[in-house]
Structure 1
Amino acid sequence: MNGQLGCILIVDDAPTNLFVLSKLLTSAGYEVIQSSGGLEAIALAQSHQPTLILLDIMMPNMDGYEVCRRLRSMPETAHIPVIFLSALDAPFDKIQAFHSGAADYVTKPFQTEEVMARVHLQIELRLARKRQEQINVELEKRVDERTQLLELAHSQMVDLAQSDRLTRLPNRPSFLRRLGKVMAQSQTDPRVSFAVLFLDCDRFKRINDSLGYRIGDQLLKGIARRLSTFEQKHAEVDMVARFGGDEFGILLLDIADKTDVVDFTEKVSRILSRPFLLAGHHIFSTISIGMVWGDRSYVSAEHLLRDADVAMYQAKARMHRKYCWFEPGMHHLAVKLLNLETGMRLALQRREFELHYQPIIDLERMKIVGFEALVRWQHPVEGLILPNEFIPFAEETGFIVELGAQILEMACTHVADWERAGVVDDELTISVNIAPEQLLQPSILNHVQHCLDSTGICAQRLRLELTERSLIGDHELVDDILQALKQQNIRLSIDDFGTGYSALGYLHQLPVDCLKVDRLFVKSITDDPGSLGIVPLIISMAKTMNMEVVAEGIENITQLDQLRKLGCQYGQGYLFHKAVAADRVADLLSAPISSWLGESD
């Protein structure tokens, strides 16, 4: 029966395209409405409420971009997905299409298989969203009903004593009491099997710092609601509790083996990885989970929970699977983390951190035009420690703010030293990484200006590198800070561009001078054109927006040649040189690149 799969509005001023697409979609079971102009298409969309719109761009009187924008501005049509069908193939045209509100883009002449696949995908996504909205409404209703029953069943004093006031979940003492009872039962009944999951939100402090504590509290409530719903659906979940801060616990009872625990853990991770919509912000929260099997050798609930906590911190160090079983050797890690915290406090006081500089090369002239400042920790006992061993911990604990301030001061001081020594020309710049937590500090603008004034270097020397995740969250606040930095004549770069795509939607609004192509994309480049991935798109997009491009991680001549062919202006990587101490910068600048190309030290 025609139309059973949905209704599709085709908008195109070419009768041939209308005929071909209508025949194709009708034969596939879709109902089809046709329009050859923008105003008529808008009226048909309002009256017929199609499931999907296929929209041409180049039309008389009103182009497809304007049609799409108007559809998005009207509540009755804003939800209808639009797929552009156009002969325009430039990256700028595609970017403009997505800015207009398009869900997808197909280039003419099109392949029928591609059109049908993209149509089917968009319709499936719309149906899935409707189903998810219905499920969310039902789940929220069930959570609200359960909360009301709990409030009626318990007095205020019992609630304060046994429950967390923010989330209404049982608190840590309640969890420990229940865990103690289960452990006692397991000692006398070997059939009792149990496990404990210790959950902690990753980078929760960054959410509080960037969006405020009210949003942070709402996120904790959202996590609690999802965990409570999980508890209701799984009889094996004996208790869900909030321990305080961003820490939660789950007690699993009557489970078969460790495989079942892992299955539960993965389900919890998936539930909490879905975005939270809080006060207009889509918040993504990843969770690290420590797991402990109910070993009867434990005599104290506190000790078992302590080991789950230790396993959780081990999970935080993992790149992919964010959960981990406790192992006895992990106590060493807990001591190491404690020592690391103490060591970092002392290192900041004693200024044990130093900067090494990796040259940034003009790929056409093969000339050094800048350096990226990379921090190292000169530990008094362990020697030189690389940043991947302490930067994640510094970000998690908040030490990154003070460390970032010291890095900026050192970089400006070194540039001033090089200027006095007459080893740098006017063209050379210094790139300094700015962490998201540092960017949102109220004093950031004053601190940057103080570093420039106290060292006497020109603002144009300084290039601040921001990661894409620095730009998510409070866009208005971030924009104000970036605009203020730009007014100080400071250059701005987006580091590791393409790994998160979070800034793509409003990149054109940012006062950014440069995009840095992440080393992961450069690493895969070979002689095969198919190995280039999204690198050509990034370079083309940057040029369209009058931005410079720096490719990171160039390690061989093949990568260099391919990047040159794509028109990439600048690059850095081990093919040229690793980062060197500040006192070796003059040596690099005084020697031709050919004399040290590919040096490993």
Structure 2
Amino acid sequence: TVTDMRHDPAVEGIVLNARDITVRKALEADLRFQALHDTLTGLANRTMFTQQTASALRAVRPAQQVGALFIDLDDFKTVNDSLGHAVGDQLLQEVSTRLVTSLSTKDLAARLGGDEFAVLVADADDESHVMTIAEQILTLMAQPFRIQGREIRVTASIGIAFANDDGTDAEVLLRSADVAMYLAKDRGKNRYAIFEAHMHTSAFERLELKADLVRAIDDGQLRCYYQPIVSLQTGRISGVEALVRWEHPTRGMLSPDAFIPLAEDTGLVVPLGRWVMREACQQLRAWQLRLPARSTLTMSINLSVRQLMGDGILDDVRAAIGDAGLDPSTVNLEITETTLMHDTEMARQRLTELRDLGVSLAVDDFGTGYSSLQYVQRFPIDVIKIDRSFVTGLGTNPGDGAVVQSMIELSQRLGVHTVAEGIDRPEQVTLLQSLGADLGQGYLFSKPVPAAQIDALLDASPHENPRFLLH
């Protein structure tokens, strides 16, 4: 500052006071940046995303659309739980880098919090432009990440919402994209979905269903259904697979597709899976005691990625088998191929620990994920379950027949048993027998049914049940 004090007779000049404010200005700039950016990734934060979206909506021209993408990483919590937050944070940083590389300089990427990200496309000419961006993001995210010497695979579910000059505000646009993202998860994850007006009702129903699911576990609304697994050589039932159902008080009997994705997203899949495991083990023991000739009957139980990677899985398996008094070799734990590839090092370690308990291990839905059978042999796997999508085309699609044949031949060389899923026609059985498949499962033999109906199937010999007469 400069002060003119020449009116003072005692002063013969000008008083000059100077202060260096460089540090203060730098701090102010830093504070402004922090107020609008995510500390971990450097991306825009929710505040900046909302501000920029509002500006884009005010400036949008009639021929333009503003597109918002809401991105949620699939099963990210499993990475944090199994590998720690340091690895999780590094993964989020790598995801952010890939996200930015998929966008043009005109688009805005933001981290909203946790494993949730958003993208603003402010000047989309049409919807296909935004959908192309979503596809690019999915492709980039599906490629394995290498973090601290580990190969980690994650996928993303994306919701897309559009606005033009219809008065939609920034919060509504983002919320609509969020609703569509949950639809993408419900459809199987690793995909995108586009918001439609009716989805707000679906989102409210989802919240209700989540609250109901918490009560279902405690109030005894869950049921175990069982589907036979049949020897393709003898027609005899060699085991059953436990499949959960929910007897909802107002919606009736719900299949897994209606609530398992919700259970996975909320973490409820862990207590739900624990209940199924204990219930299935107790039921297997009841069958073995009632039918001594069926002492080798096996029970197949599905494990989710959260169960497999969680700290309590070994204790849960020990408790379920021990409390039921089962021989561990009669319990078969099934893991999907994508679960196996989620974190290969951690999966190998956990599967080895489970195998040491004496249980057998199966890869479910084989052929639908990233891996090859040669890759799977690096894991302690006893059974390959050939996905129904390949079995369905047997006899009609030569390509499916060739794929199934190669799976069976390589399994035989590796000493791994095969189960063909989705058998619903006799000619499929004939072809599978000729190819050397060991076991089969599908509606030709039985749909999933309550335990009481399995009793009747176990009591009947193959010759008394035409569906099981395979020769």
- Residue 561 of structure 1 deviates from its aligned partner by 0.7
Residue number in structure 2 paired with 1:288: 157
CA distance in 1, matches of 2:428, 2:63: 61
Q: Render the CA deviation track for 1:327-370: whole Å, top value 9, x for unaligned.
A: 22110111121112111111111131111111111112111111
Instruction: State how far apart, in whole Å, the 1-side matches of 2:312 and 2:287 are.
Output: 27
1:183 has 2:52 as partner: no
Deviations, residues 68-123 of structure 1 (Å, cap 9, x unaligned)? xxxxxxxxxxxxxxxxxxxxxxxxxxxxxxxxxxxxxxxxxxxxxxxxxxxxxxxx
For the residue of structure 1 that corresponds to 2:294, the secondary structure is coil
Counterpart residue number, 2:451: 582
Change (3 A) 1:249 1:494: closer
AA partner of residue 573 (structure 1): G
1:339-350 equivalence runs, <5 A: 339-350=208-219
Conserved 8 A contact 1:210-1:474: no
The residue correspondences of 1:167-566 to structure 2 (distance < 5 A) are: 167-186=41-60, 193-231=65-103, 233-235=104-106, 237=107, 239-298=108-167, 300-318=169-187, 322-422=191-291, 425-502=294-371, 504-526=373-395, 531-566=400-435
> Is this contact kept in 2: 1:292–1:325, CA < 8 A?
yes
Map residues 33-112 of structure 1 onto 2, 5 A cutoff: none
Does the Cα contact within 8 Å between 2:332 and 2:362 map onto a contact in 1? yes
Give the structure-2-normalised TM-score: 0.86
Instruction: State the TM-score, normalized to the length of structure 1.
Output: 0.68
Distance in structure 2 (CA, Å) of the matches to 1:230 and 1:540: 41
Query: What amino acid maps onto 1:157 in structure 2?
Result: L
Q: Structure 1's 561 and 192: CA in aligned 2 closer, same or farther, altered over 3 A?
A: closer
Q: For structure 1, which segment, 507-516 or 319-328, has the greater mean C-alpha deviation from structure 2 after superposition?
A: 319-328
What whole-Å deviation, never above 9, does each CA across 1:207-226 have from its counterpart, x for those lacking one?
33343322322222122223
2: CA distance between counterparts of 1:209 and 1:498?
28
Task: Please state whether the residue corresponding to 2:157 is helix, strand or coil.
Answer: strand
Q: What is the Cα deviation at residue 440 of structure 1?
A: 1.8
Change (3 A) 1:258 1:192: closer
Distance 1:273 1:362, change over 3 A: closer
Native 8 Å contact 2:335 2:364 kept in 1: yes
Gaps of 5+ in 2: 1-24
CA contact (8 A) 1:195 1:261 kept: yes
Distance 1:438 1:378 in 2: 23
Q: CA contact under 8 A between 1:275 and 1:283: conserved in structure 2?
A: yes
Q: Kindly state the Cα deviation for residue 390 of structure 1 after the two structures are TM-superposed.
A: 1.4
Partners of 1:352 and 1:228 lie apart in 2 by 45
What's the CA shift for 1:518? 1.5
Taking structure 1 as reference, are residues 174 and 367 closer, same or farther at Cα in structure 2, changes over 3 Å only? Answer: same
**Is 1:159 the counterpart of 2:28 in the alignment?**
no
Cα gap change, 1:247/1:360 in structure 2, threshold over 3 Å: closer, same or farther?
Answer: same
SS of match in other structure, 2:389 = helix
Deviation at 1:153, TM superposition (A): 10
Aligned pairs, number: 444
Distance (Å, rounded) in 1 between the aligned partners of 2:190 and 2:320: 41
Q: Is the 8 A contact 2:329 2:358 kept in 1?
A: yes
8 Å Cα contact 2:391-2:400 kept in structure 1: no
Shift in Å, 1:378: 1.2
Q: Distance in 2 between matches of 1:153 and 1:266?
A: 40
Mark the CA change 1:221 to 1:565 in structure 2 (over 3 Å): closer, same or farther. Answer: same
SS in 2 for 1:296: coil
Is contact 2:67–2:163 with CA below 8 Å preserved after alignment?
A: yes
Residue 20 of structure 2: aligned partner: none
Q: Check the 8 A contact 2:152/2:344 in 1, yes or no.
A: no
Name 2:18's counterpart in structure 1. none
Contact residue 424 and residue 444 of structure 2 kept, 8 A = yes
Between 1 and 2, higher relative CO (CA 8 Å, sep ≥ 6) is seen in 2
Secondary structure at 2:418's aligned position in 1? strand
Query: How far 1:303 moved relative to its partner?
Result: 2.1
- In structure 1, runs of 5+ residues without a counterpart are 1-150
Deviation at 1:595, TM superposition (A): 4.2
Q: Match of 1:155, SS?
A: helix
Q: For 1:580, what is the secondary structure of its paired residue?
A: coil
- Distance in 2 (alpha carbons) for counterparts of 1:598 and 1:240: 56
Q: Secondary structure at the match of 1:483?
A: helix
Q: Which moved more, 1:338-347 or 1:494-503?
A: 494-503
SS in 2 for 1:534: helix
User: What amino acid is aligned across from residue 295 of structure 2 in structure 1?
Assistant: D
Using the TM superposition, name which of 574-583 and 524-533 deviates more: 524-533
* Residues 1:152 and 1:565: Cα distance change in structure 2 (over 3 Å): farther
Q: Which runs of 4+ in 1 moved over 6 A?
A: 151-154
Identity over aligned residues, as a percent? 37
* CA distance in structure 2 between the partners assigned to 1:466 and 1:201 by the alignment: 20
Q: What is the CA-CA distance between 1:576 and the residue it aligns to? A: 1.2
